[in-house]
Amino acid sequence: MSEVRVRFAPSPTGYLHVGGARTALFNWLYARRHRGKFILRIEDTDKARSTPELTNMILDSLRWLGLDWDEGPEAGGEYGPYFQSERGELYRQALAKLQAEGKVYPCFCSAGELEERRAEQMKAGKPPRYDRRCRHLAKEEAERLINAGKACAWRLAMPTEGETVFDDLVRGKLTFANQELDDFIVARSDGSPTYNFVVVVDDINMRITQVIRGEDHISNTPKQIQVYHALGAPLPAFGHLPLVLGKDKSRLSKRHGATSTDVYQAEGYLPETMFNFLALLGWSSGTDRELFSKQKLVELFDISGVGKAGSVFDMDKLTWMNGYYIRQMNEERFLELTGERLVQAGVERSVVESEWGRRVARIEKEKMKLIGDVVPLTRFFFSDELEYEDKALKQLKEGMESLKQVKEGLIKLDKFDAQALEKLIRGLAEERGESAGKLIHPLRAALSGLSSGPGLFEMMELLGKERCIKRIEAAIERFGG
């Protein structure tokens, strides 16, 4: 087997969609599994919509996800340039070869004429496609029109009989009747080449051995195969990945929520979470496991494990998985990421980076599902202006008498640490003949405004004796009447 060379070729006309990220990841896993090369190519021929800023955002998103490329922008390589906008001469040479060999022909039909014929075909219940009338022009007549300055596009002379067949790496044998295929345009009248032409020229030139992409490209594949044949180049293997779907089983789009990787990064999802999650969108390891390291996925990835059915982007599963990876994170990285969120929320950096601030972040780690959760979960530590949840407010009002007794006990307490606090609260509960929860719930509500949170006694130790007493007094004064 020759060296595996796969590619991911995004267009910088928008952010990196999670479907594109999944395609990039599967290609990367395939390359790493087979000790091959992963090539990044930027398809930036849409001059009106492609921008350097969007290109950089795509590169940053790929890096954040943990994907590196062996050839491409910034990495270089012997088959560059890796921007389609810089590869025009290669396309001109390929077109000239097809023209010289008579495998393409000039089409002089105007856009208006083509539209009129399409409308007639549809009215007659026929599939709309080019009627090949310019294909039958005499060579001399075509040359005369070209020499006279008549604008023309160039169409590939597709076979009109037989079938185009290929064995899809995911879907098995796929067959297309050639008579149903259009003589598609490979170069427009202004000289600009079209997608189905340039992508083949690029893949041939870059020695791509497997083309792994979304199933929305299946209809392009028979056209591209004929370009390979026309250029006399060997075919790569093709594999078409199932679509990423929303919960309603339609293709994932903005109406389902965030679709770009940068949004998930901003919301506090971790790259290792997204890597693991996307790897399982349409691929199965053959086990019930759902949590994998990057290296384990490289070891296990086999394209035969990719299914044909679309895969639902399950936000609940993604968020659950993110909570798991947060809990597994080493302390230094956890404190760095949460610290930046707290600073962005207005907490002084010196406070965040103090030992007290670090203890505050650590105490909430088990409850966090997103890195950004550190802000609402710890807000009550950094501000005495509490917002009371409805459930907490109810618990507070029901436990007002016990709060007064707790306050008196705290005033008399000499050692204010978690162990001493627990002994005090449980002792008071025993004196009152109540369960400890009857004191713990209203006390937590008075101190944090929340009905749940970290361990109460450790939380109280971090808040300190003075703040705890002041907050209880404020709650009694506000709600005790």
Residues carrying an active site annotation: 254
CA nearest neighbour of 241 among 165, 172, 307:
307
Instruction: Locate all alpha helices (DSSP H) within 331-414, ordered by sequence.
Output: 331-344, 349-352, 355-363, 374-382, 390-398, 400-412
What are the tokens at 374? 């550190």
Half-sphere exposure of 278 (CA within 13 A, CB side): 30
Instruction: Tell me the torsion sign for CA atoms 242, 28, 43, 194.
Output: negative
Distance of alpha carbon 413 from alpha carbon 431, whole angstroms: 17
DSSP 283: B
Order of strands across the sheet that contains 153-156 = 104-107, 153-156, 185-187
- φ/ψ of 137, rounded to 5, equals -65, 140
Q: For residue 426, with 0-12 CB atoms within 10 Å meaning exposed, 13-18 middle and 19 or more buried, which class applies?
A: middle
Burial label, 172 (beta-carbon count in 10 A; 0-12, 13-18, 19+): exposed
SS3 of 171, please? Answer: coil
| Buried b / exposed e along 216-243 (16+ C-beta atoms within 10 A) | ebeebbbbbbbbbebbeeebbbbbbbbb
Q: Order of strands across the sheet with 5-8?
A: 37-40, 5-8, 210-214, 237-241
Amino acid found at 353: E
3-state secondary structure of 307: coil
Supply the DSSP string of 260-313, one letter for each residue: BHHHHHHHT--HHHHHHHHHTSSB--SSS-----HHHHHHH--GGGB-SS-EE-
Residue position matching structure tokens 């190519």 = 41
Report residue 390 CA to chain centroid gap. 36
Q: Is residue 464 helix, strand or coil?
A: coil
Q: At what angle do helices 331-344 and 374-382 cross, to 10 degrees?
A: 70
Question: Using an 8 Å Cβ cutoff, are 259 and 253 in contact?
Answer: yes
CA–CA separation, 329 and 368 (whole Å): 12
